[in-house]
Amino acid sequence: MDELEIFNRIGVDGFTRLVAAFYRQVPGDDILGPMYPDDDMAGAEERLREFLIGRFGGPQTYMEKRGHPRLRMRHAPYRLDEGARDRWVRLMDVALDESVLPEDVTVTLRQFFHGTATFLRNS
């Protein structure tokens, strides 16, 4: 599936459901929770949602607000070892399952998330 078609298939609603399902899990998580400031959880959710929408063919709001994603640079302050990577992937997999998106979209997003999480490991 062409990644840039995903937005046309699931729209803002699909990404909103997915990202909300992910962030509902984060505050209580013993590995990921401490990486997120309590007073900016809504901001983190908004940034991920806007990034994904733009990355997968939707409006480029993230780029307009924040410029190039520079994912490695933005994640550099956090210790992202194999355990953090695996936990992030597990929570996102649960969110993908909960969001009930079209199967081909889910497969493509899951591959993207697993690969990107591996790429962002820094320790």
What is the tens place of the pLDDT at every residue in 80-110?
Answer: 899 999 999 999 999 999 999 999 999 999 9
Count Cβ atoms within 10 A of the Cβ of residue 50 and give its class: 0-12 exposed, 13-18 middle, 19 or more buried. Answer: buried
| CATH number assigned to the domain comprising residue 24 | 1.10.490.10
Q: In terms of residue numbers, what domain contains 7?
A: 3-119
* Tally of domains in the chain: 1
- Please tell me which residue, 96 or 4, carries the higher pLDDT value: 96
Count Cβ atoms below 10 Å from residue 59 Cβ, excluding itself.
12
Q: In the prediction, which pLDDT does 76 show?
A: 66
Its pTM stands at 0.92
Q: In the prediction, which pLDDT does 1 show?
A: 78
pLDDT by residue (tens digit) across 31-48? Answer: 999 998 889 999 999 999
Q: Which two tokens stand for residue 32?
A: 């990921």
Whole-number Cα distances in Å, 73 to 35, 46, 76 = 16, 19, 5
